[in-house]
Amino acid sequence: MNRENVYKLPQDFLWGGAVAAHQLEGGWREGNKGISVADVMTNGANGVERKITEGVVAGEYYPNHDAIDFYHQYKADIKLFAEMGFKCFRTSIAWTRIFPKGDEKEPNEEGLKFYDDLFDECLKYGIEPVITLSHFEMPYHLVTEYGGWRNRKVIDYFVNFATTVFERYKDKVKYWMTFNEINNQTDYKRGFSIFTNSGIIPKDGENVEETMFQAAHYEAIASALAVQIGHKINPEFKIGAMIAMVPLYPATSDPKDILKAQRAMQWRYWLGDLQVLGKYPEWLLRYQTQHHLEIDRTLEDLDVLQAGTVDYLGFSYYMSFTVSAHGAADSVFAYDEMEDLVRNEYLPASDWGWQIDPEGLRYAMNWMNDR
């Protein structure tokens, strides 16, 4: 066997870069754009969490309001991408450019026209757009009026948004993702995670774990419906799921640590299972029953999940982490991301505490391929 052929990338390999609309566009109120959840999140720093404010508050700094002004500068930026040899460019469609409040029946033409022009500019240089539908920028109105993704009604609003952009760009965009890093909200004790994913601000006395499971279920249903609708609009569409992949290693060879790491991986990635395999893992259903979590989940929902499995799995990889059972795990080795992460003595870390682990990318790809 020729070794050069073994390691050669295929001719249709897509090399490029990835961003999100709220990270770079700016122009946060231009073109009749509405306010998104990203628009009410202040800046942060190392050790300083970003604040989620009640609406846009005078005197606070919201970095995405201006970002890098891609909204006005995209032609020059895409030209630079082409000079770098990009074959693809992943970004998102800001939901609030298309439906400023999220619950309108008719879309905003100015927003649709902006993405027409953006995708045309990409295609002019032979760059494939890879487009995320929801990348931490759901309409803020859906938070204040409906409670975010804790409300089943939001499924219909998302499906209307997805259908609108699928039909509009059916001849310009082939590769889609439904929700960015949908699994981040499994770390539901961090308010930032559950807000950016699902627009949820916990209420006094609310069982936030139950709310997280409910919101994630509705998002999985919305994703599955979008997959089915997208394939009807254009059978050539490739519509994927997207997860944040952080390998969780056992701290030692102690079997308790190994079982803790196994449960940690299950806990972080069951939403990948749900979108790729079309069904809930049995361990999770048992967990929800044992903890008396009441989830609105119908038999029709389960059929939708099975019929709307994704075409591919996308993931981000920034780091790995290590978990410990702390010497005396409970019988189910329940995972708590706030409590169970420990330092990996074999890896350096950034100033932010993110462990620098190039081999972890290989581990992650092997793990998902086997799964």
Per-residue confidence (pLDDT) for residue 168, from 0 to 100: 98
Nearest alpha-carbon partner for 296 in 201, 217, 190: 217
pLDDT of residue 339: 86
Burial class (CB in 10 A: 0-12, 13-18, 19+), 299: exposed
Q: Where are the beta strands (DSSP E) in 164-311?
A: 175-179, 238-244, 248-250
Q: Please tell me whether residue 18 adopts helix, strand or coil conformation.
A: strand
Give 91-105 pLDDT, tens digit per residue. Answer: 999 999 999 999 999
pLDDT at 5: 60
Contacts of 180 (CB under 8 A, 6+ apart): 20, 92, 132, 134, 135, 136, 242
pLDDT of residue 118: 98
Looking at residue 330, its pLDDT comes to 66
What residues does 313 pair with on adjacent strands? 241
- Residue 300: predicted pLDDT: 98
Query: Which CATH homologous superfamily contains domain 10-248+275-281+307-319+357-370?
Result: Glycosidases (3.20.20.80)
Q: At what angle do helices 153-168 and 109-124 cross, to 10 degrees?
A: 50
Largest distance between two CA atoms of the chain: 66
The pTM assigned to this predicted structure is 0.95
DSSP 106: S
Query: What is the C-alpha to C-alpha distance for residues 319 and 244, in angstroms, rounded to an integer?
Result: 10
Q: Tell me the residue type at 49.
A: E
Please choose, from the candidates 368, 118, 126, 199, the residue with its C-alpha nearest in 3D space to the C-alpha of residue 268: 368
- For the beta carbon of residue 243, count every other beta carbon within 10 angstroms: 22
Q: What is the pLDDT of residues 103-118, one digit of tens each?
A: 999 999 999 999 999 9
Mark the ranges of the chain whose per-residue pLDDT is less than 70: 1-5, 328-330
Q: Which pLDDT value is given to residue 329?
A: 61
At residue 191, the pLDDT reads: 87
Continuous H helices in 47-152: 70-84, 95-98, 109-124, 140-146
